[in-house]
Structure 1
């Protein structure tokens, strides 16, 4: 049976965004069917109070100064010792749409996850640079499959992927900082012959105040110019 490790990353002094996500996480946690861990990257006192009120006693890792997205994800995932089968990841600007029933929604995600060995989320395409092509070819999960000009991936604001796959390939790798990890996961799945599937039911992913997908304002760190994944637009 599918069981989710639900992880979320909160950042900075954005209490309204944090509350929207934290209330979603509270409703999912209240089902009693998930394990949950959250990361706090340089959150303000006000943001921390919002999270503590919504998720008392939640298993968390706090970093101040921040350690960026993928080092935090790496800790949340690879230091977990429970019996969950799949990671469900939330950026803090992702939430469930109002009126979505967490129990029913969670069951629908589990049903889809049980039928695939790849990932679930909102599907995008983006062109790879020549340097990114070269970087992918150097990874130990690269199998020689032809790399297209555009990579298909689930945007990183919400994604479901089997934990066994992440453990097998030590993903996210320590070389990833903040940008491009969603594209890297898409490339890994392509090389392993695994699908990247569309699932966005009930979700507002990287959403603005009107809950429009991928419309949230950019906040915080961007990988510096000159890094391989600086060219990645968005998170």
Structure 2
């Protein structure tokens, strides 16, 4: 009798994207990626608009008719908008896939084949997936981790590994279990905080950047997009995260 091969876990993505300000060129670039993924019929899609101009909104409405837009003017910043988008979702997706508006698929990528590649890789990942970076952990951040209800007492290393926030995949079950992004995260720090959470759980972020331009400039170079918007607004935990990445 032939051995029974277990079926691969079913993966479905909730694609979330955040747009900011008056940048119709980014709305077009990222919006085309979202449209291509949506056209596969294999993702759910929700979009956040923080102080988005009429020009940018018009581009997105043309590309994504019928998609839910969550608008905020004045803006509510990145992590609160992610929380809003997640709170309003009640579908059957297993993972969140996040796009900043300066992230997109590279030209020539087949969206259906790319989505299948991400799905196959995601099925084997317990933590997060994206482009890997490291950052030194400050004493204030160590103390913050120790005060969290999810702290397990694992020693926090000198540097933490994390997936940069411009594009990432995270299991929805993990996000809901730990209420991530945490309510005390505002503009910056979400990517690093997730890396710290995974480290405490004995999980690791993993590398996936194939076919992607993440936080990319006009030449599609990763992490080279111009800084836009504001730095971390004043709040109780602002000193923990510094300027946005």
TM-score by length of 2: 0.93
In 2, the alpha carbon distance for the partners of 1:139 and 1:217 equals 33
The residue that corresponds to 1:22 in the other structure is 31
Q: 2:165 aligns with which of 130, 141, 156?
A: 156
In 2, the alpha carbon distance for the partners of 1:49 and 1:5 equals 23
Larger radius of gyration: 2
In 1, the alpha carbon distance for the partners of 2:17 and 2:54 equals 18
In 1, the alpha carbon distance for the partners of 2:116 and 2:22 equals 33
1:75-224 matches, cutoff 5 A: 75-224=84-233
CA contact 1:90–1:159 (8 Å) conserved in 2: yes
In 1, the alpha carbon distance for the partners of 2:216 and 2:81 equals 21
1:43-62 matches, cutoff 5 A: 43-62=52-71
Q: 1:227 aligns with which of 235, 238, 242?
A: 238
CA contact 2:187–2:244 (8 Å) conserved in 1: no
Q: 1:40 aligns with which of 49, 63, 67?
A: 49
Cα displacement string for residues 109-135 of structure 1 (whole angstroms, at most 9, x for unaligned residues): 000110011110000001111111111
Look up the SS of the partner of 2:57 in the other structure: helix
Structure 1 segments, 4+ long, off by >2 Å, are: 228-231
Deviation for aligned residue 1:18:
1.2
Task: Tell me how large the CA RMSD over aligned residues is.
Answer: 1.1
Deviation for aligned residue 1:140:
1.2
CA contact 1:7–1:76 (8 Å) conserved in 2: yes
CA contact 1:223–1:229 (8 Å) conserved in 2: no
In 2, the alpha carbon distance for the partners of 1:228 and 1:164 equals 29
Segments of structure 2 that go 5 or more residues without pairing to the other structure are: 1-9
In 1, the alpha carbon distance for the partners of 2:131 and 2:244 equals 14
In 2, the alpha carbon distance for the partners of 1:133 and 1:197 equals 22
Look up the SS of the partner of 1:25 in the other structure: helix
